[in-house]
Amino acid sequence: MCETNGVRFRTSLTYLMVKAFSGIWQSLFPGLLFLGLMPIFASAQQAPITPVGGVQDQTPPPRPVQPAQSEQKPGVQGMGPGAPVNSASYKVGPADILAIRVWDEPQFSGPVIVQENGRITLPLVGDLEAGSKTPVEIEDEITKALTKYIVKPLVTVTVQEVGSRRYYMDGEISRPGEYPLVVPTTVLEAISKAGDPAPFANTKKIYILRGDKRIPFNWHDVLKGKHMDQNILLKPGDHIVIP
């Protein structure tokens, strides 16, 4: 009987100890678990995020968009800037250079010089009268001549260089030589274009040589607004002489 009671006592004591230890463990486990996981959370926050597969994204940043450059059509070349003349009123003369363009017909297009007899020469067409005609009138002449070879030709004629209308600066002037007479030009304007007279020039005795005539011009008077009638318009072939 005493032995049975001793067994029961040991069993009860063991049960009480296990229960007490279980309660202590349940109360301490959350804290221990939190302390153990803190280093893992800290390292996870500092580590860079990598995509699946462990390879970081190495895509370079996008390049700035370059502005589009103007595209030049192949096979089209300019003939250079034309002279500033009115195609409806300017009268073509010898030594003028005309820029002729026939649409889609390069064999008939290009620069053509006006001959001394006032004619121009085109392939297949031959000689055509151009002297004393306007570029618009020459367009009509070329169009009529090309109808034998082209269906409805589209022709454009411009003056590329003026060679028939020129005047000349001679004597004591900064830039002597010949000048194109493209637009109406007075004597004072011509002197200004040539760089004004030299410091030792006799500007009171300037004259315009027109054929066998000498037309006087007093530069000082014109600058002061006096005797403005002597500031005449130049004609082709005039020579302005500054003694």
- Whether residues 156 and 176 share a domain: the answer is no
Residue 60 belongs to some domain of the structure: no
Using 70 as the pLDDT threshold, list the residues of the chain that sit under it: 1-84
Terminal-to-terminal C-alpha distance of the chain: 162
Residue 102 is assigned to a structural domain of this protein: yes
Same structural domain for residues 126 and 183?
no
Q: Both tokens of residue 82?
A: 């034309």
* Residue 81, pLDDT score: 46
Considering 161, 195, 211, which residue would you say is the last residue of a domain?
Answer: 161
Q: How many domains does the chain have?
A: 2
Query: Does residue 222 lie within any of the structural domains?
Result: yes
Task: Give yes or no: residues 176 and 238 share one domain.
Answer: yes
- What pLDDT does 138 receive? 96
Domain enclosing residue 148, as ranges: 97-161
Select from 161, 194, 216 the last residue of a domain. 161
**Do residues 215 and 176 share a domain?**
yes
- CA-to-CA distance for 163 and 130, rounded, in angstroms? 14
Q: d(Cα 146, Cα 101) in Å, to the nearest integer?
A: 12
Same domain, 175 and 113: no
In a domain, 236, yes or no: yes
Task: Confirm if 144 and 125 have CB atoms less than 8 A apart.
Answer: no
pLDDT of residue 148: 92
Query: What per-residue confidence (pLDDT) applies to 229?
Result: 95
Tell whether 209 is covered by a domain: yes
- Domain end marker among 135, 161, 187: 161
Q: How far is CA 97 from the centre of its chain?
A: 27
Instruction: Please tell me the predicted confidence (pLDDT) of residue 70.
Output: 38
Q: How far is CA 138 from the centre of its chain?
A: 32
Q: Are residues 183 and 226 in the same domain?
A: yes
In a domain, 53, yes or no: no
pLDDT at position 63 is 52
Residue 234: predicted pLDDT: 96
Looking at residue 87, what DSSP letter applies?
T
Q: What is the CATH number for 227?
A: 3.10.560.10
In a domain, 57, yes or no: no
Give the CATH number, domain containing residue 105.
Answer: 3.30.1950.10
pLDDT of residue 86: 86
In a domain, 67, yes or no: no
- Asked whether residue 198 falls in the same domain as residue 212, the answer is yes
Domain identity same for 193 and 236 = yes
**pTM of the complete model:** 0.54
Together in a domain, 113 and 135? yes
Asked if 139 and 204 sit in the same domain, the reply is no
> What Cα–Cα distance (Å) separates residue 184 from each residue in 66, 86, 231, 234?
47, 12, 12, 7
